Amino acid sequence: MPYQFWHSKLTDPPIHVPAIGLQLFVRIPHNTTDENISVIETINEPGFGPPLHRHPQTEIFRVLDGQYLYECDGKRFVAETGDVVTIPGGAAHAFRNLSDGPARQPVMILPSFDTVAFFNGLGDIMADGVPDRDVLNAFSEKWQIEFLGPPLQL
């Protein structure tokens, strides 16, 4: 059966990656959709976002609260509450919360992968801040993600 019943509760525990100011909820895991799509909900602390990176998955973001600076393949733009942003698979991208408080956005990931294992692993290797280069390279290879540079600066 390609799709299964799933109920994500508001009270589900988050995954934390403090080094990049991220609290994340997996709303639809990969194993409920035959790995077609995952949905995560991210809460980013002010001034934080992921490092510049790329991966084969397409991501569709919808800003629910706050304002983000995005960069996609060298082009920068601001996305505000209600905006939708599509990042094609393979595009170099990053974003940064420009708001004074936490900003929130659900993200659809196509095709899917094990987001629980990925973000828990990312939190583990970044527990002390910047991870060891060899550890980061092994993580990148395992998850088919390429880290290209630091988080966005203003």
* Interval 91-110 mean pLDDT: 98
What domains lie within the chain, and their CATH numbers? 15-148 (2.60.120.10)
As a whole number, the mean pLDDT across the chain is 95
CA distance 133 to 125: 10
Residue type at 42 in one-letter notation: T
CA distance 52 to 134: 18
Res 128: pLDDT: 85
User: Per residue in 22-45, pLDDT tens?
Assistant: 999 999 999 999 999 999 999 999
Q: Where are the beta strands (DSSP E) in the chain?
A: 15-17, 22-28, 38-44, 51-54, 58-62, 67-72, 75-80, 84-87, 93-97, 103-110, 146-151
User: Per residue in 41-98, pLDDT tens?
Assistant: 999 999 999 999 999 999 999 999 999 999 999 999 999 999 999 999 999 999 999 9
For 81, residues 6+ apart whose C-beta sits below 8 A from its C-beta are 63, 64, 65, 66, 67
The yes-or-no verdict on residue 1 having pLDDT over 80 is no
